[in-house]
């Protein structure tokens, strides 16, 4: 997709709409045009506007000369640099990424109706469900999130749950070009905190639930919650859908300055969950709203999907989709890859591969695994924790793991940290547990051992990485190796039982 050229004067004009201080043009006449906003000098092409972003580990101003050599037409700076290119001097380069990213992508969001989804767990599944509802309504919808970007049968990879603003707006332009009328965007707390969705206005914002996470970035749980609550500000969304089954959700529903549809099992919920049941064949939910009772069927497996289904239902209603159409859409949505991906069964152990990486998500994953056990069956849990990330929650993961019958502690990608130290922190939460705890540092070997030890009535639950296929044990991304948990588990099933078992790439999610 080739982005349209934009005049230097239009760039200056849009930059001037961002609060914070004066904008000064340093060189370049009104006839200069730029094409595309880029934050990585390695991605600069002829005519690019290179944004010199200050990050935690590097300063984009240092790469201005490299961007010039690569063909950049101009620079966006917060201090002048000694490079022979026109420059636009602004108080904060990062604050400009959303508005200027939108401008240089052709303002695609103006041609889309947008829904945003945030929450500690369930973003990916709820976004996927809502996209299915919108597609069922006859309007082509795209989705951007942890699993990349999709519209129709097309897909593109992304490196972040919510891409940096210029990439996000380019993805929206790609969706418009593919015929999309709507888009669903996963909005991570870090993205909200860093302004990656600035320049977007949503018709509905969805909150799927909350627990401590990403405190390595946010510092405190209050700051983490406040970052998510930004999605519900009056200038970002017209309406909200909030799961109120935890105190943080109820607080958001009470404080949000926009109309909110409350979702949950409480009597005061606007969309109330009256009952549900789940098993290997999927999940059924009975809801009630101001129009009466509604029964939903979904191929997603696990009780954790009950609030996700209810939230997608409520968002569909806010967007004006008829109840029967929402139900039809939810019934046909294939679950995201690596979210309760279910393998085996039928006389073999059942294996569940899931992205669960927070204590509450892990507890829900173990509950789902228990539901899938046969009579007398046991849950074998393969558990690790990511290195250099959210160290504070490792003991909590160990505490949640106490509900399993056998725990296989292993490496999940140490990113330069000592894997043995990570596993020791997980073990602290398991002290005194009835579960049998075994340590197998090699992840591939741990998965093979868990599947081998499981009987026909048992479930081997492999958590933490879900859809991911690259694992890193150093600080250099070039050292990442291929490791797909579902692929390894499937290999183990074949080795133990001599029968090919096709991996179901789609089942259900609880953590994102």
CA distance readout (Å), 128 to 185, 186, 229, 263: 10, 10, 21, 18
For 108-332, the fitting CATH number among 3.60.20.40, 3.40.1190.10, 3.40.50.300, 3.30.70.100 is 3.40.1190.10
**What are the tens digits of pLDDT across the range 251-300?**
999 999 999 999 999 999 999 999 999 888 899 999 999 999 999 999 99
CA dihedral (73, 75, 76, 81) in degrees, to 10, reads: -170
Helix (H, G, I), strand (E, B) or coil at 277: strand
Residue 125 exposed, middle or buried by CB count within 10 Å (0-12, 13-18, 19+): buried
Phi-psi label, residue 326: left if phi above 0, alpha if psi -120 to 50, beta otherwise = alpha
Q: What is the pLDDT of residue 225?
A: 79
Q: What is the mean pLDDT of the chain?
A: 90
Rounded distance between C-alpha atoms, residue 271 and residue 182, angstroms: 23
Contact 357, 386 (CB under 8 A): yes
Q: Provide the CATH number for the domain formed by 341-497 in this structure.
A: 3.90.190.20
- Residues making up the annotated binding site are 41, 161-162, 188, 196
Contact 330, 311 (CB under 8 A): no
Percent helix, strand, coil in the chain, to 5, is 35, 20, 40
For 137, the token pair is: 């309504």
Rounded distance between C-alpha atoms, residue 219 and residue 510, angstroms: 24
Phi-psi label, residue 416: left if phi above 0, alpha if psi -120 to 50, beta otherwise = left
Which has the closest alpha carbon to 14: 77, 114, 90? Answer: 90
Beta strand pairing status for 282-289 and 271-279?
antiparallel
For 114, the token pair is: 């947008």
For tokens 């001097």, what's the residue? 89
Same topology, domains 6-93 and 108-332? Answer is no
Domain ranges within the chain, ordered by starting residue:
6-93, 108-332, 341-497
Rounded distance between C-alpha atoms, residue 362 and residue 203, angstroms: 32
CATH T-level topology, domain 6-93: 3.40.1390
Q: What is the pLDDT of residue 507?
A: 31
Please report the sign of the dihedral spanned by the C-alpha atoms of residue 18, residue 21, residue 22, residue 25.
negative
Which has the closest alpha carbon to 93: 80, 110, 111? Answer: 80
Q: What is the pLDDT of residue 97?
A: 95
Rounded distance between C-alpha atoms, residue 305 and residue 371, angstroms: 13
**What are the tens digits of pLDDT across the range 89-104?**
999 999 999 999 999 9
For tokens 């009328």, what's the residue? 181
Beta strand pairing status for 49-51 and 74-77?
parallel
Rounded distance between C-alpha atoms, residue 62 and residue 382, angstroms: 43
User: Which residue ranges of the chain lie beneath pLDDT 50?
Assistant: 215, 218, 500-512
Q: What is the pLDDT of residue 3?
A: 82
């Amino acid at each position: 997709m080739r982005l349209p050229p934009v005049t230097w004067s239009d760039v200056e004009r849009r930059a001037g709409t961002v609060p914070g201080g004066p904008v000064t043009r340093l060189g370049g006449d009104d006839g200069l045009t730029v094409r595309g906003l880029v934050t990585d000098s390695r991605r600069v092409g002829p005519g690019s506007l290179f944004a010199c972003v200050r990050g935690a580990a590097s300063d984009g101003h240092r790469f201005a000369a490299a961007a010039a050599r690569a063909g950049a037409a101009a620079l966006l700076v917060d201090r002048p640099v000694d490079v022979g290119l026109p420059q636009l001097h602004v108080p904060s380069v990062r604050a400009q990424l959303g508005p200027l990213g939108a401008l240089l992508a052709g303002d695609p969001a103006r041609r889309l109706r947008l829904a945003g989804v945030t929450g500690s767990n369930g973003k990916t599944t709820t976004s996927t469900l809502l996209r299915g509802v919108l597609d069922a309504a006859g309007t082509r919808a795209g989705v951007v999130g942890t699993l990349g970007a999709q519209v129709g049968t097309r897909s593109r990879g992304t490196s972040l749950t919510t891409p940096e603003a210029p990439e996000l707006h380019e993805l929206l332009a790609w969706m418009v070009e593919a015929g999309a009328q709507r888009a669903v965007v996963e909005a991570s707390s870090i993205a909200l905190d860093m302004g990656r969705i600035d320049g977007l206005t949503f018709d509905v914002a969805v909150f799927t639930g909350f627990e401590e996470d990403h405190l390595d970035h946010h510092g405190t749980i209050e700051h983490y919650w406040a970052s998510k609550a930004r999605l519900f500000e009056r200038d970002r969304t017209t309406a909200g859908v909030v799961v109120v089954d935890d105190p943080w959700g109820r607080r958001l529903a009470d404080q949000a300055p926009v109309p909110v549809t409350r979702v949950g099992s409480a009597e005061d919920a606007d969309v109330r969950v009256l009952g549900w049941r789940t098993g290997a064949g999927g999940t059924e939910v009975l809801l009630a709203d101001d129009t009466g009772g509604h029964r939903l069927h979904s191929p997603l497996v696990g009780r954790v999907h009950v609030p996700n289904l209810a939230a997608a239902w409520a968002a569909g209603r806010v967007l004006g989709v008829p109840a029967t159409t929402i139900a039809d859409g939810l019934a046909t949505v294939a679950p995201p890859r690596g979210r309760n991906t279910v393998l085996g069964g039928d006389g073999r152990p059942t294996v569940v591969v899931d992205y669960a990486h927070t204590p509450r998500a892990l507890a829900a994953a173990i509950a789902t695994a228990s539901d899938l056990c046969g009579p007398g069956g046991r849950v074998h849990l393969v558990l690790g924790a990511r290195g250099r990330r959210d160290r504070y929650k490792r003991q909590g993961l160990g505490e949640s793991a106490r509900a399993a019958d056998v725990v296989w502690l292993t490496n999940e990608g140490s990113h330069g940290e000592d894997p043995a130290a990570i596993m020791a922190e997980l073990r602290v939460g398991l002290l005194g547990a009835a579960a049998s705890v075994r340590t197998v540092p090699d992840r591939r070997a741990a998965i093979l051992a868990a599947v081998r030890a499981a009987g026909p009535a048992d479930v081997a639950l492999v958590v933490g990485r879900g859809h991911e296929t690259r694992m890193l044990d150093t600080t250099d991304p070039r050292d990442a190796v291929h490791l797909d948990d579902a692929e390894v588990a499937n290999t183990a099933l074949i080795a133990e039982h001599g029968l090919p078992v096709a991996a179901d790439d789609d089942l259900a999610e609880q953590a994102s």
